[in-house]
Structure 1
């Protein structure tokens, strides 16, 4: 490494004469190394590269005779362990979503050294919008819930492969295969096929059985972990809404942790990607498509739940029909109903003692 942790005295010399001044730190975090930049009040920046060791970074920053105004880090695959360690050490940390970090219009050079310097400058200019940092239990619960969705995707692909195999071999699908009942799966085992095709189908059926069993196991673990991490009461409150079952409720609780961080319903809708983008130019005003942000899975689940809510609740159906009569676009009407459902779930997820 060009500038490793042994060059920490460089930072000490760099801040000499700026004792007790406010400095800003930028971190570009990777699996094998971290790039650290320190921005002085006069606008000068020094940087170094160090091993990925939180305690070493904390000791280094705490040993400097300056006040850390803010530490900026870009969210990424390394998770939130470093951010939590900095918080526990009493150091201010901002984790910013990559999509919300200012980017140059035209292509420019990109290195770890430049990235950490830019983060320090953005932190000093208050140009970064922080995202919520989950606790260790909250992050573990969210990972478990997302694993459940991975298994659901795997099940869907496995079923598609089975149906594709039957189609390409001109085999007749068993009755009730749309519901994948035990009887239909048993009929798949009894189909007369060529030996190699039979072996392929058997392999798919073993994969299907594994995925079903694994999903059931994960469902049990989610319920147990909900109790352990204090989410059980919140999930039960969410399930009182029409159209919301355990999957939607647990996903909402996992993805929308710390619901009290939202001050207005509009913020919740924007976070979930259910807020339409507003375009206004030359006196023309248009509310277009939904804002393309994260939370695609939860947004999809909320739209599915909105269809069920519409079928069960007359007021929800009237709301949907009223919007449909205006736009004549079912997707817009159901997205608006899903937005209404999301806001309802946000209010239910708030602690009754503080709501």
Structure 2
């Protein structure tokens, strides 16, 4: 249940934050553009009639802002974008409209909040994402190299690919290219595999 005097909606981006605050007593709407600095946002929130509650959409900027506001006693709800109710017929989307809409939904308790992970949980998620990205990069690099070799008529038949024996075959094949251009293309692809793969 909404109990604070002022509801604030933040449309958060990497380089700017558009904020809208609704004073529940006077009905006044205040809108500003802020920097994404947590200090800048906190400083502006402190100038509003309190207590204050804040909502912003979950997104690529993460949950640091939520933690920074909660740390100074400001309730902050991170809202699931896919569950946001949008005004019917409103097809023109702007940052300012989004901020006001969030402020209104917060006041009405008409939103679905996501669970804010701890710093440790978010760090673990980032590590898992980084591993998945690296794995995808390796698969793409291997695929490009394999297709280059296939186009040149080289097919490995000495067992499982991407083993020590396969690597020795690749190095031997690399010396067999007669064209300097093809050799350079092969070396570039092979180096890309080794770079992404890392040390054995």
The partner residue of 1:194 within 158, 171, 178 is 178
Query: How many residues are aligned here?
Result: 194
1:27/1:36 contact within 8 Å kept: yes
Show the counterpart of 1:93. Answer: 76
Show the counterpart of 1:332. Answer: none
Residue 46 (str. 1) matches residue 30 (str. 2): yes
Residue 206 (str. 1) matches residue 191 (str. 2): yes
Residue 164 (structure 1) shift: 0.8
Show the counterpart of 1:145. Answer: 128
Give runs of ≥4 in structure 1 deviating > 6 Å: none
Unmatched runs of 5 consecutive residues or more in structure 1? 1-19, 217-355
The 1:162/1:44 distance shift into structure 2, 3 A limit, reads same
Show the counterpart of 1:170. Answer: 153
The 1:160/1:29 distance shift into structure 2, 3 A limit, reads same
Residue 177 (structure 1) shift: 4.2
2:54/2:76 contact within 8 Å kept: yes
Show the counterpart of 1:287. Answer: none
TM-score (norm 1): 0.50
1:189/1:202 contact within 8 Å kept: no
1:97/1:130 contact within 8 Å kept: yes
The 1:87/1:157 distance shift into structure 2, 3 A limit, reads same
Residue 24 (structure 1) shift: 0.8
Show the counterpart of 1:61. Answer: 45
The 1:107/1:160 distance shift into structure 2, 3 A limit, reads farther
Task: State the secondary structure of the residue aligned to 2:116.
Answer: coil
Residue 105 (structure 1) shift: 4.9
Show the counterpart of 1:294. Answer: none
The partner residue of 1:114 within 84, 87, 97 is 97
2:5/2:49 contact within 8 Å kept: no
Q: Distance between the aligned counterparts of 1:177 and 1:166, measured in 2? A: 16
Residue 134 (structure 1) shift: 2.3
Show the counterpart of 1:301. Answer: none
1:77-136 CA-to-partner distances (Å, cap 9, x unmatched) read 222221110010111111112212123454522211111000001111212111122233
Show the counterpart of 1:307. Answer: none
Q: Distance between the aligned counterparts of 2:47 and 2:23, measured in 1? A: 16
The 1:21/1:89 distance shift into structure 2, 3 A limit, reads closer
The 1:206/1:21 distance shift into structure 2, 3 A limit, reads closer
**CA RMSD, 1 decimal:** 2.2
Task: State the secondary structure of the residue aligned to 1:121.
Answer: helix
1:28/1:35 contact within 8 Å kept: yes
Q: Distance between the aligned counterparts of 2:72 and 2:120, measured in 1? A: 19
Q: Distance between the aligned counterparts of 1:202 and 1:83, measured in 2? A: 47
> Any residues of structure 2 matched to 1:7-18 within 5 Å, and which?
none
Bigger RCO (CA 8 Å, 6+ sep): 2
Unmatched runs of 5 consecutive residues or more in structure 2? none
Show the counterpart of 1:103. Answer: 86
